[in-house]
Amino acid sequence: MTPKTVAVAGATGLVGREMMRVLEERNFPVKSIKLLASARSKGTKLKFKGEDLPVEELTETSFKGVEIALFSAGGSTSKKFSPCAAKDGCVVVDNSSAWRMDDTVPLVVPEVNAADIKWHKGIIANPNCSTIQMVVVLKPLHDAAKLERVIVSTYQAVSGAGIKALDELLEQTKAVIEGRKPEAILFPHQIAFNCIPQIPQSDAFADNGYTSEEMKMVNETKKIMGDQSIRVCATTVRVPVYTGHSESVNIETEKKLTPDEARAILANAPGVIVKDDPSRQVYPLASEAAGHGDTFVGRIREDLSHPHGLAMWIVSDNLLKGAALNAVQIAERL
């Protein structure tokens, strides 16, 4: 690949910093890199390949001469600036929900639907982290036995809610241990030593009783898998873990799959590692998945409530495969 002129929009954020780290680690052929954020960060220096680079303010003219832009600066920023970038001939890989359900924008997980990259018109959307790790595992099972229904409950790490949320977890944990009353600012309730069934924490529940994170899992799964007939029900829960989303997933398939057949299929699936030996207490753990690019699956067993049902436990690093790594993998395919 010839070296590319790259921009990272949202470079000062949790995901943006991870994107720079992944570009470095995977030796992405970078000719030059532009680091963009809000006016607040103008002049801040960030390290890339050992060099201190200044952060510039993201403006409508930031993308002249840029070939690939990785965006992680939130939905409204992406709505405003991605079209400017695309107009200047740059291809945007956007991490926000701004474009995911737009019919003219591919929504891509390379292991699942890399072919969709081809029909982009300047913007490619990166799915939500909880969706990404689930479809990486479910696509090979769908190909083998056709998924009819998915029921998922997530156990999502606090880093998914940004850097301030991590500070809040730490502060609350200290307060509880020291016998003080924990203060909830960002989260609606105490997150330390607790679980909160509302993601994102700031959104109202929709009229159907679901959160937007839950509906992202429903709608994005169908779009990425290219099958609107798959029925999905999601419950998304924040847990006091720093990094690594875990998911309890039950599936119903048209053709029966045994746990052994599912394990054999997943053993050959790209981006998936089967960690499944309950007799030795081997199963995926967020603490072990953190820092790794693969998605881990284990506890694969029959769903006793359905003749064609399987239950499993899926874990991945939400900032890596769930965000930065998936975006860089899309850029690599470009």
Binding positions for ligand NAP, rule: CB under 6 A? 10-16, 37-38, 40-41, 58, 72-75, 77, 95-96, 126, 128-129, 160, 162-163, 322-323
- CA-derived radius of gyration, the chain: 20
110 binds, among ligand NAP, ligand 3JN, none (CB under 5 to 8 A by kind): none
| Site string (139-158) toward ligand 3JN, x via CB under 6 A | -----------------x--
Residue 293 interacts with which of ligand 3JN, ligand NAP, none, CB < 5 to 8 Å by class: none
Q: Which does 16 bind (CB under 5 to 8 A by kind): ligand NAP, ligand 3JN, none?
A: ligand NAP
Q: Which two tokens stand for residue 142?
A: 């769908």
| 298, containing H or E segment | strand 295-302
Query: Does residue 199 interact with ligand 3JN by CB under 6 A?
Result: yes
Near ligand 3JN by CB under 6 A: residue from 139, 216, 223, 321: 216
DSSP secondary structure code for residue 89 in this structure: T
Q: How far apart are CA 182 and CA 141, in angstroms?
A: 44
Binds 41, which of ligand NAP, ligand 3JN, none (CB < 5 to 8 A, cut-off by type)?
ligand NAP
**Active-site residue 90, yes or no?**
no
Helix/strand/coil for 217: helix
Order across the sheet with 68-71: list the strands: 45-48, 51-57, 30-37, 4-9, 68-71, 91-94, 123-125
Residue 216 partner contact from ligand 3JN, ligand NAP, none using kind-dependent CB cut-offs of 5 to 8 Å: ligand 3JN
Q: Toward ligand 3JN, which CB reaches closer, 35 or 132?
A: 132
Binding of ligand 3JN by 198 (CB under 6 A) = no
Residue with tokens 């690599």: 332
Which residue number, 111 or 214, has a Cβ lying nearer to ligand 3JN?
Answer: 214
Name which of 276, 253, 255 is nearest 264 in CA terms: 276
Contact flag: residue 160 with ligand 3JN (CB under 6 A)? yes
- Beta strand 68-71 with 91-94 is parallel
Q: How far is the CB of 43 from ligand 3JN (least distance, A)?
A: 26
Peptide bond into 200 cis (omega under 30): yes
CA–CA separation, 298 and 315 (whole Å): 9
The identity of residue 189, as a single letter, is H
Q: Contact residues for ligand 3JN (CB under 6 A)?
A: 75, 96-97, 128-129, 156, 160-161, 199-200, 216, 318
Q: Could you give the residue numbers annotated as active site?
A: 129, 245
